[in-house]
Amino acid sequence: MDASLRQLLEKMPKAELHMHIEGSLEPELIFALAERNGVTLKYSSVDELRRAYAFTDLQSFLDIYYAGASVLLKEQDFYDMTRAYLGRAHADNVRHAELFFDPQTHTERGVDFGTVISGIHRALQDAATEWGMSGALIMCFLRHLSEEDAFATLEQALPYRDKFIGVGLDSSERGHPPEKFARVFARCRELGLRLVAHAGEEGPPEYIRTALDVLKVERIDHGVRCLEDAELTQRLARDKVPLTVCPLSNVKLRVFDRAADHNLQRLLDAGLTVTINSDDPAYFGGYVNDNFTEMFSVLPLDQRHARQLARDSFAASFLPEQDKRRLMAEVDAFFAQ
C-alpha cells in the first residue's frame, strides 16, 4: 500500500462500533492488575500469556478472554482498562466509540454491577472532556448463559440506565441462536434501548435473519456469513443494516484463512453498509487502524472505499442525527484536502 493511502487511513476521522472493552486488556495490564489485586494467573509471564494467543476458533479465544478478565475487581481497574483503550483509539483518530462490556463475566465472580459500569463510564467522561471524543456503552448478554441470567442482569443494570444506550449479544454463537433471547430483547426494546447482536460470525446466515426478525436489532455485529444467502444480502443492502466487521478478528479466529481471503470487498461490492472495527484488539493483533491498513494492504481497496468506510462508521453509529452530520462533514472535508 502506498504511503499516502496509509496516511489517509490513519488520519481520517472515524468511529469504532464493535469493541469489547475486556478485549482491550493487554497482557502487560493483565499482569499489573493481577499483582495489584493479588490474583494468581495460570501463566508465569507476559510472554507466556501472549504465546497462548493461538486460537483455532471462537471458543478457544473466549476461554482465554474470560481468564484475562479475572484480574478486574475494583472500579479503578475498569477505569484503567478503559482509559488505556481510549488513549489508543484517540491516537487512531477515533472520534466516537461505542463500547461493549460483558457484566456477567464480572458479576459471576462477585464483582458488583455498579463497580463495572462506573469505572468504564468515568473513563468515557474523561475522554470526552480531555479529547472531545464521544462514547457510549452497550451492555452485552453472554449467549452461552440462560435467558433467566440475562433477565437478572438487566434488573441489575436498570439503576444505571443513564450510563448505557443499548444491549448486545456475544460469546459462543453456535448452538445459541438469537431467539433464545427473544423475550429479553423485547423487554429492552420497551425500555427504549438500542439493540444489536453478534450474528453470522461463526453461526449460519439464518442467525442474522432471526437477529433482525425476532430480536429486531438495528445493526449486525460481524455478519460476514450473510454472503452465503443472496436474498439476505439483498435485504441487508436494501434496508441499509450496518455490519460491524472485524477483519483481524476473523483471521485470528479462522473465519477466513488469510487476510487476503476476507470478504470485505465483496460485502462493499454488494452495496452493504460496512464498518471496520477491532473487536478485541489486545488479542487479535491490532487496534482499529491496524484493521484498516491490513485490509487495504491485501485487497484492492482505494481512497473512495476509505472515505465511504469513514462516513459509514458515523452513519451506523447511535449518535444523534446532528452529530452524525457534523462528523460526516468532517470526513468530507478531510478527503477534500
Residues annotated as catalytic (active site), given as ranges: 201
Residue nearest to Zn ion (CB): 279
- What is each CA distance from 290 to 30, 91, 198, 230, in whole angstroms? 22, 12, 22, 30
Decide if residue 249 touches ligand HPA (CB under 6 A).
yes
**Phi then psi dihedrals of residue 265, to 5 deg:** -65, -40
Q: Residue 169 forms beta bridges with which residues?
A: 141
C-alpha 96: how far from its chain's center?
13
Decide if residue 170 touches ligand HPA (CB under 6 A).
yes
**CB 296, CB 267: distance < 8 Å:** no
Q: Which residue among 92, 279, 294, 312 contacts Zn ion (CB under 5 A)?
A: 279
Decide if residue 279 touches ligand HPA (CB under 6 A).
yes
In the list ligand HPA, Zn ion, none, the entry touching 103 (Cβ below 5 to 8 angstroms by class) is: none
Decide if residue 104 touches ligand HPA (CB under 6 A).
no
Q: Which residue among 13, 16, 20, 117 contacts ligand HPA (CB under 6 A)?
A: 20
Q: How far apart are CA 324 and CA 311, in angstroms?
A: 9
**CB 246, CB 215: distance < 8 Å:** no
Q: How far is the CB of 247 from Zn ion (least distance, A)?
A: 12
In the list Zn ion, ligand HPA, none, the entry touching 205 (Cβ below 5 to 8 angstroms by class) is: none
Secondary element (H or E) of residue 222: strand 219-222
Q: How far apart are CA 176 and CA 172, in angstroms?
A: 7
In the list ligand HPA, Zn ion, none, the entry touching 92 (Cβ below 5 to 8 angstroms by class) is: none
**CB 288, CB 94: distance < 8 Å:** yes
**CB 280, CB 237: distance < 8 Å:** no
Q: How far is the CB of 170 from ligand HPA (least distance, A)?
A: 4
CB nearer to Zn ion: give 27 or 200.
200
Write out the binding residues for ligand HPA, residues 183-202 only, by CB under 6 A.
198, 201
Burial of 2 (0-12, 13-18, 19+ CB in 10 A): exposed
Burial of 88 (0-12, 13-18, 19+ CB in 10 A): middle
The interface mask with Zn ion, positions 231-270, x = CB under 5 A, is ----------------------------------------
Q: Which residue among 13, 23, 247, 281 contacts ligand HPA (CB under 6 A)?
A: 23
Q: How far is the CB of 174 from ligand HPA (least distance, A)?
A: 11
- Whether 279 has a binding-site annotation, put simply, is yes
- What is each CA distance from 117 to 152, 157, 190, 198, 334, in whole angstroms? 16, 9, 22, 21, 35
Q: How far apart are CA 251 and CA 333, in angstroms?
A: 33
- Whether 239 has a binding-site annotation, put simply, is no
Q: How far is the CB of 283 from ligand HPA (least distance, A)?
A: 8
CB nearer to Zn ion: give 43 or 283.
283
Q: How far apart are CA 75 and CA 60, in angstroms?
A: 28
Q: Which residue among 134, 171, 289, 313 contacts ligand HPA (CB under 6 A)?
A: 171
- Whether 176 has a binding-site annotation, put simply, is no
Decide if residue 75 touches ligand HPA (CB under 6 A).
no
Q: Which residues are annotated as a binding site for substrate?
A: 280
Give the binding site for ligand HPA (CB under 6 A): 20, 23, 58, 65, 170-171, 198, 201, 249, 279-280
Annotated binding site: 18, 20, 198, 279-280
Give contact residues for Zn ion (rule: CB under 5 A): 279
